Chain A
Amino acid sequence: MTSLERVERPAAWAEPPAAIRFVLDAWTIAEGELRKLRHDPTELLTRAVQPILWLLVFGQVMAQTRAISTGNLPYEDFLAPGILAQSALFSAIFFGIAVIWERDLGVLHKYLVSPAARSALVTGKALAGGLRALVQAAMVYIVALLIGVHLRLDPVSLVGVALVVVIGSAAFATFSLVIACLVRTRERFMGIGQILTMPLFFASSAIYPIAMMPGWLKVVAQVNPLTYQVDALRGLMVQGATENFPLALDFGVLIASTVVLIAIAARLYPRLAQ
Chain B
Amino acid sequence: MPPAISTHELTRRFDDLVAVNALSLDVQAGEVFGLLGPNGAGKTTTIKMLITLLPPTSGEASVAGHDIRHEPRLVRRSIGYVPQLLSSDGALSARENLMTSARLYHLPDADRTARIAEALEFMGLESSADRLVRTFSGGMVRRLEIAQAMLHRPEVLFLDEPTVGLDPTARKAVWGHIRELRQAEGTTILLTTHYMDEAAELCSRVGFMHLGKLVALGTPAELSEQAGKGKDLDDAFTYFTGSGLSETGEQGGQYRDVARTRRTARRLG
Contact = CB atoms under 8 A, between A and B. Distances in A.
A113 B186 contact: no
B153 to A, nearest CB: 6
A113 B158 CA distance: 11
A114 B106 contact: no
B173 interface: no
Interface residues of B, number: 42
Chain B contact surface mostly = loop
Interface centre among B54, B84, B86 (most CB of A within 10 A): B86
B227 interface: no
Interface in A104-146: 104-107, 109-117
A24 B83 contact: no
Contacts, number: 101
A109 B84 CA distance: 10
A115 B83 contact: no
A154 interface: no
A270 B53 contact: yes
A109 B73 contact: no
Interface in A205-247: none
B92 A35 contact: yes
Interface string A55-84: 000000000000000000000000000000
Contact of B96 (A35, A115, A270, A273): A35
Contact of B103 (A28, A109, A273): A28
Contacts of A117: 73
B92 A113 contact: no
Interface of A: 1, 3-4, 7-11, 13, 15-16, 21, 24-25, 28, 32, 35-36, 39-40, 104-107, 109-117, 270, 273-274
Given A115-B106, A273-B54, 8 more contacts: A9-B153, A16-B106, A39-B132, A107-B86, A113-B51, A113-B79, A273-B48, A273-B53
Interface of B: 30, 48, 51-54, 73, 76-79, 81, 83-92, 96, 100-101, 103-108, 132, 148, 152-155, 183-186, 264
